[in-house]
Amino acid sequence: MAEAYLALGANLGDPFVALAEARNRLAQSQVVITNASGLYRTPPFGPVEQPAFINQCLRVETTLAPHALLDLCLDIEHQMGRERAERWGPRRIDIDLLAYGERVIADDRLTLPHPGILHRAFVLVPLMDIAPRLTIAGTAIVDALARLDQSGIVQIDTGTSPSRRGNP
């Protein structure tokens, strides 16, 4: 089994339901979720005006190869109604493969580690919950996060019940 890290985000419909559905679909495949970060409300990224996102990171173990794991993530997005109409636009679900063990891949379909990971506080804040000692491309994520603006990122208190939801 290989260890990998995924980032989930959503800002359309009910993001809490979308994240739960994505986690369930992942868990019903060849992916074992070994740790999940808290949920974070984050400002939207990019130039498109849109609602805040709810973000989460997962540490998973899988027998899938990196490209097969990417395909699974894309298939789940598609099954959940993800439309890729606008770069950095709103979405019902987004599942990014951040890292796959120590693998470095750069081809026309997949770049690992994810090229934006060290520059996006909305990814690094939840990733710190589950992998505070993780190093990406020779940089500790704690050091990368210290250089980024974290304003507007708020952990959501979901209480003790997984069905309790806040209003994004």
96 is catalytic: yes
Per DSSP, the residues of 75-120 read: HHHHHTT----STT---S-EEEEEEETT--EESSS-EES-TTGGG-
Query: Which of 23, 25, 96, 120 is an active site residue?
Result: 96
Which stretches does DSSP call E strand in the chain?
2-10, 31-36, 40-42, 53-62, 94-100, 105-106, 111-112, 135-136, 139-140, 154-155
82 is catalytic: yes
91 is catalytic: yes
133 is catalytic: no
Query: Which of 23, 25, 59, 94 is an active site residue?
Result: 94
Query: Which of 91, 92, 109, 120 is an active site residue?
Result: 91
Query: Which of 41, 82, 92, 120 is an active site residue?
Result: 82
Catalytic sites, residue numbers: 82, 91, 94, 96
